[in-house]
Structure 1
């Protein structure tokens, strides 16, 4: 069994999201979407934060030392040395009510990410792939997208339809998706961000579910890692051996619980028996 979650940064993010480990910088990057902040937590305990130009769903390390960020207006390149954001690709100019949400980088350097209606009312969200300057829409019809991630062999892509409490699986080959199917339906809370470990086990943050759910590659529920806060938004493996599971949380839609759960919105971590997969870098 994993250790109990340990609070490492009590930053009380309104919507902490998108943790990703950078082996190059020995740090974890993550965002507060509603707080419009980009955060960096170093393995040595160091901390740094930057303002973002708008709501930002993810910040993923690129091969040139920058980060590619999913800002509401499109994909932006962020330079940590200058703190400057520069838009590199417009996304969904025909859907102004949308913002970008969760994302991850595949081993080939492509960036998979989703969009969603910022008011969470219409099913205007979609799933995209950004590869060497080209954006391709691969699926559509989501209210809230979350958690694109690949299996260890790269042959299955998982993607969440959060408000419908469904995790879908697709066959994946050379950046192309096919055979969309229901992987699991989640009953306790809403499936938020997810990550996959080196054994192919899915770790899914539960929004209003007080933990991280674990599923086998066959869809069998393996249990829940309990948390002291109700809203876990996304887990990510990090550390030198990739056995530290970092988890972002949020107080969004749970302001009434902040007195009894004062660490809502904090960054947590715990040690795991099985390591995660090595993170990849965005190829620009």
Structure 2
């Protein structure tokens, strides 16, 4: 395993949602607070960016082409060809201070995503699922900052993050799309930092990025800590596996809320990083839209 190094000196306010899109052979991710969608092509070194109309929590590839983007007010189709956004569904129109935050597509093409209070004050966040044009409540709510979810390679286990609660829970995922009773998977301490975006590799291990913790960690499906990867920046938000063999890990980071002194100590905060891993990731499924 190699040490992380910056591949895009971006200085993102809140980099998030990295996803390797095989049809593009490129990494897509967002800067939530700057309202940007980014694309990095490692083969050519090309870097592209698009403006979003609202805070944008994620952009996941759709089966019909383009992307499904999570905006503050709901889901929208994003077309990189012309940079357009077209509304699919409003989410939580009764909670104007909420925004969508993080998402994943399971092996069936169902997209799972969460909401949160943009002010990070109220426990108004909840998880949802989206498939074939419809949004359904996932039955998990009252969370201040949702992250993930992540889904095991066999589609049978879902992992849900409560960032300010410093916890990650696991639950069985039924064939009907229903989440079973949650069970503890990981509880961090104040000294650890905050669990941010989780990602699953091909062995079913859970990579959890640690906000304010300077690292990302790999846990076994049983919750055993297997590896730690240290970063030169404190706020690691999420990783995604990419490259031809899915053994290049890309990590988004953030600089929001950092003082000038803290940025002097960690000037690469907000950059996109990469490092090599021994166990490959899992190909990203496309959203059934």
Tell me the TM-score range normalised by the shorter chain. over 0.9
Alpha-carbon separation, structure 1, partners of 2:257 and 2:208: 19
Which residue number in structure 2 is paired with residue 283 of structure 1? 288
The question of whether the paired residues in 1 share the 8 Å contact of 2:200 and 2:282 is answered with: yes
Q: 1:259 aligns with which of 235, 247, 264?
A: 264
Alpha-carbon separation, structure 2, partners of 1:186 and 1:238: 28
RMSD: 0.9
SS at structure 1 position matched to 2:164: helix
Alpha-carbon separation, structure 2, partners of 1:34 and 1:159: 22
Alpha-carbon separation, structure 2, partners of 1:84 and 1:275: 33
Query: Is it true that 1:227 corresponds to 2:226 in the alignment?
Result: no
Query: Is it true that 1:269 corresponds to 2:271 in the alignment?
Result: no
- Structure 1 residue 43: deviation in Å? 2.5
Q: Deviations over 1:57-78 (max 9, x none)?
A: 0000111221100000110100
Alpha-carbon separation, structure 2, partners of 1:235 and 1:69: 18
Alpha-carbon separation, structure 2, partners of 1:48 and 1:124: 34
SS at structure 2 position matched to 1:258: helix
Alpha-carbon separation, structure 2, partners of 1:203 and 1:186: 14
Aligned residues: 283
TM-score where L is the length of structure 1:
0.98
Which residue number in structure 1 is paired with residue 123 of structure 2? 123
Query: Is it true that 1:91 corresponds to 2:96 in the alignment?
Result: no
Which residue number in structure 2 is paired with residue 147 of structure 1? 148
Which residue number in structure 2 is paired with residue 16 of structure 1? 15
- Structure 1 residue 223: deviation in Å? 3.3
Q: 2:241 aligns with which of 237, 254, 258?
A: 237
Structure 1 gaps, min length 5: none
SS at structure 2 position matched to 1:178: coil
Alpha-carbon separation, structure 2, partners of 1:127 and 1:9: 31
Structure 2 gaps, min length 5: none
SS at structure 2 position matched to 1:229: coil
Alpha-carbon separation, structure 2, partners of 1:36 and 1:255: 21
**Superposition pairs of residues 130-209 of structure 1, within 5 angstroms:** 130-138=130-138, 139-174=140-175, 175-187=177-189, 188-209=192-213
- Structure 1 residue 276: deviation in Å? 0.5
**Superposition pairs of residues 3-152 of structure 1, within 5 angstroms:** 3-44=2-43, 45-138=45-138, 139-152=140-153
The question of whether the paired residues in 1 share the 8 Å contact of 2:253 and 2:271 is answered with: yes
